[in-house]
Amino acid sequence: TQALAAGMPANTNKPLEHGIDNAKAAPQGLTVEPPSALPGGSTLSEHNASAKTGGVAAPGINPASAPLDRVRVDSAGQRLTTNQGVPVADNQNSLKAGVRGPVLLEDFILREKITHFDHERIPERIVHARGSGAHGFFECYEPLTKYTKADLFNEAGKITPVFVRFSTVAGERGSKDTARDVRGFAVKFYTQEGNWDLVGNNMPVFFIQDAIKFPDLIHAVKPEPHHGMPQAASAHDTFWDFASLMPESTHMLMWQMSDRAIPRSYRMMQGFGVHTFRLVNEAGESVFVKFHWQPKLGTHSMVWDEAVKISGADPDFHRRDLWEAIDSGEYPEWELGLQIFTEAQAEAFSFDVLDATKLIPEELVPVQIVGRMVLNRNPDNFFAETEQVAFCTAHIVPGMDFSNDPLLAGRIHSYVDTQISRLGGPNFHELPINAPIAPVHNNQRDGMHRQAIPRGRVAYEPNSLAGGCPFQAGAAQGFQSVARRMDAKEASDKVRGKPEKFADHYTQAALFYESQTPAEQAHIAAAFRFELSKVTVPAVRERVVATLVNASPALAAQVAEGLGIEVPAALPLALETPVSPEVKSSPALSLTARPGDGGIRTRKVAILVAHGAEGTSIAALQAALLEGGAVPRLVGSRLGSFSAEGGELLEVDATMENSPGFLFDALVLPDGVAAAEALARDGHTAEFLKDQYRHGKTILAMGASQGLLGDAGIPLTLPDGSADPGLILTDAVGVASAVPSFIAAVGGPRHSARETD
């Protein structure tokens, strides 16, 4: 209680973990290292400063979290031991009867080492197996006590530590990051009243309406069971067979075929809680809520050809991107937005808020920004943290509650259940990454891998032998479900069925498609075309197109054309009365609605170099890119250094072989006749250029290197004959004015007008 009163985390095994504000909460007697300096004189803490509250959150790396040192291992200066602490004299040779004789059974050192190794792997997650995590904090902007008594929302500037895991869904643990897939966006908030897990995705709707269909959905999308293919891909018969027979999936399919399914970075995607939840205030009054995460860097995606190539050159592309950004102090940040609405409003909507295949257009219920989340520390150990973290939709805290969404109900059961087998028993809440900051006191006992040593003889309640402790917290402090009378519709006979509005499968699929820009619409058509072209059963392809006719005849016609088939008759509708939606176009659903600030922070720029490159213009460009926060890299045909025209050395960061063009956001070709000739002789150069061009990226060609564009077959104008704003030639404008135009174009959208795919 004292600790809580002082604003301190009360679990003494876990204080100050995960980036909680040291300045505010450091226990007395523990020293906190000052934040290290960043270039430009700012500190990590300043870097974390909030524009909204003026608060400063701590650097994530916290040397003051002493009690967890019990489980931390740092072997610097230590001798090698067995798991029993016995020093090991020889770690190279097993114990043998003579140097050429048999290995002896008594070699307990060998046996312990091999036995432990044999059991190093745990089952991977049945879905979302491939993921990457990071620590950080959530900061509340304004008290939200009008709506909720949840402690993380009760004070402006309040900091709550978080651990976040981003993931793909279908691929196995070692699969590529850039698959066309939904991305998981799971956040564990270590609040003072227990852990709250917001286990969301980067898309606000889902494929199915009822949890009873989840195993079918996942069996359909996972590699086909007879031959185990394809890996991390929905482009195969079983997925589309299932989808074509489940018209409720049409809306989600639009999202999955859109550019949202191939994000540029985890740092550049939105997150959504998907289901309707409830917020509950002190008085027990509740409102409905939908959760949104909005990335500060804006929403950006890849193009399909790029995603395919990246998966070969760097399957860890998103993991590396997140790690490097945090490692370099470029902390990714999102704002938390709430759509708050009442039950009466919900009743009046043309769709059912309990149906996870529907979203609430922002034009109907605006998104209210209530705080921000900053990820400022990489995990120390991938297995201990990112792999062992266990999220669960059942983890809510006082001030929140569920809705009756039938998909949510299944999830409330599923997560703990799956974790009991994945993490080997019922005590995984004690793993350091899962343990709450709030103290845990109950009479749950024993089980595999129990860590806590509960004292005393009482493990039941009520009791008198332990003075009645631990005692019930009571209604004022403890978690209470919203007391809500089931209305006649909800409390009728037991049924297996759905409300009427669930049967409208197409209105919002059409809304999503119609709200996209022409370039985004073209990508949706191309994605359906690609995926269905991998389907081998013509009837399945046709059935999907027949479904699309109901959402958009224009899209269906394009997809049919791409598959070389006639547009089939529309699939019969389940609902006879047409729905009249409140909102017919929602610009917020386009990725272009959130371009970010147009800056170039963390964008990777390749500057090709060779002997004889013009060094002054390269140096000027590097300086300007660094100033904007971008990551310029000198890329050559080999490692080492090249001599610039003026004799200065250009130190190469990467080669065209180990870092092909599609790994970069933009490209610079150097001036200098000798360099241009050398680059023209290397077969990688044209590939590098073609990929940059085809993927809509900005290219700056300085002086003599302009000829390389022609060698690579790159047209100097757009297909319609107009100037290409993404192709900047210093010959035309001079270096001084080319650099700012280049930087502006790198911070802007892709040059999709080039697309001829």
Binding site for ligand HDE (CB under 6 A): 125-128, 131, 165, 167, 184, 186, 199-201, 206, 211, 214, 274, 356, 390-391, 407, 410-411, 414-415, 418-419
Taking the complex as a whole, the smallest distance from the CB of residue 407 to ligand HDE amounts, in Å, to 5
Cα–Cα distance measured from residue 623 to residue 644, given in angstroms and rounded to the nearest whole number: 17
Distant-in-sequence, close-in-space partners of 157: CB < 8 Å, separation ≥ 6: 50, 53, 54, 55, 139, 140
Which residue type is seen at 71? V
Which residue type is seen at 722? S
Instruction: Identify which of residues 198 and 631 has a Cβ nearer to ligand HDE in the complex.
Output: 198
Cα–Cα distance measured from residue 368 to residue 191, given in angstroms and rounded to the nearest whole number: 21
In the bound complex, which residue of the shown chain has the CB atom lying closest to ligand HDE?
184
Instruction: Identify which of residues 199 and 607 has a Cβ nearer to ligand HDE in the complex.
Output: 199
Taking the complex as a whole, the smallest distance from the CB of residue 200 to ligand HDE amounts, in Å, to 5
Q: 703-741 b/e with 16+ CB inside 10 Å = b?
A: bbbbbbbeebebeeebeeeeebebbbbbeeeebeebbee
Paired with 162 in beta bridges are 136, 189
Instruction: Identify which of residues 165 and 377 has a Cβ nearer to ligand HDE in the complex.
Output: 165
Taking the complex as a whole, the smallest distance from the CB of residue 485 to ligand HDE amounts, in Å, to 26
Taking the complex as a whole, the smallest distance from the CB of residue 125 to ligand HDE amounts, in Å, to 4
Cα–Cα distance measured from residue 593 to residue 363, given in angstroms and rounded to the nearest whole number: 13
DSSP string for residues in 274-299: -S-EEEE-TTS-EEEEEEEEEETT--
Query: What is the enclosing helix (H) or strand (E) of 17?
Result: none
3-class secondary-structure state, position 549: helix
Taking the complex as a whole, the smallest distance from the CB of residue 274 to ligand HDE amounts, in Å, to 4
Cα–Cα distance measured from residue 132 to residue 347, given in angstroms and rounded to the nearest whole number: 39
Instruction: Identify which of residues 148 and 168 has a Cβ nearer to ligand HDE in the complex.
Output: 168
* 3-class SS letters over 588-655: HHCHHHCCCCCCCCCCEEEEECCCCCCHHHHHHHHHHHHHCCCEEEEEECCCCEEECCCCCEEECCEE
Instruction: Identify which of residues 512 and 642 has a Cβ nearer to ligand HDE in the complex.
Output: 512
Other Cβ atoms less than 10 A from the Cβ of 462: the count is 7
Instruction: Identify which of residues 421 and 443 has a Cβ nearer to ligand HDE in the complex.
Output: 421
Which residue type is seen at 259? D
Distant-in-sequence, close-in-space partners of 418: CB < 8 Å, separation ≥ 6: 125, 126
Instruction: Identify which of residues 221 and 356 has a Cβ nearer to ligand HDE in the complex.
Output: 356
Cα–Cα distance measured from residue 181 to residue 358, given in angstroms and rounded to the nearest whole number: 19
Taking the complex as a whole, the smallest distance from the CB of residue 417 to ligand HDE amounts, in Å, to 7
Taking the complex as a whole, the smallest distance from the CB of residue 389 to ligand HDE amounts, in Å, to 6
Other Cβ atoms less than 10 A from the Cβ of 751: the count is 20
Phi-psi domain of 78 (left: phi exceeds 0; alpha: psi -120 through 50; beta: other): beta
Taking the complex as a whole, the smallest distance from the CB of residue 572 to ligand HDE amounts, in Å, to 27
Nearest Cα to Cα of residue 518 among 567, 590, 594, 595: 590
Instruction: Identify which of residues 199 and 526 has a Cβ nearer to ligand HDE in the complex.
Output: 199
Cα–Cα distance measured from residue 288 to residue 408, given in angstroms and rounded to the nearest whole number: 14
DSSP state of 501: G
Taking the complex as a whole, the smallest distance from the CB of residue 380 to ligand HDE amounts, in Å, to 18
Q: What angle do CA 258, 307, 207 make, to 5 degrees?
A: 35
Cα–Cα distance measured from residue 552 to residue 532, given in angstroms and rounded to the nearest whole number: 17
Lookup: tokens for 102: 């048999």
Cα–Cα distance measured from residue 385 to residue 431, given in angstroms and rounded to the nearest whole number: 9
Instruction: Identify which of residues 318 and 754 has a Cβ nearer to ligand HDE in the complex.
Output: 318
Positions marked active-site: 128, 201
Backbone angles phi, psi at 732, to 5 degrees: -75, -40
Instruction: Identify which of residues 15 and 131 has a Cβ nearer to ligand HDE in the complex.
Output: 131
**Does residue 140 contact residue 153 with C-beta atoms inside 8 Å?**
yes
Taking the complex as a whole, the smallest distance from the CB of residue 716 to ligand HDE amounts, in Å, to 45
**Does residue 655 contact residue 635 with C-beta atoms inside 8 Å?**
yes
Paired with 607 in beta bridges are 634, 668
Other Cβ atoms less than 10 A from the Cβ of 384: the count is 16
Taking the complex as a whole, the smallest distance from the CB of residue 291 to ligand HDE amounts, in Å, to 10
Lookup: tokens for 495: 């049924």
Instruction: Identify which of residues 169 and 739 has a Cβ nearer to ligand HDE in the complex.
Output: 169
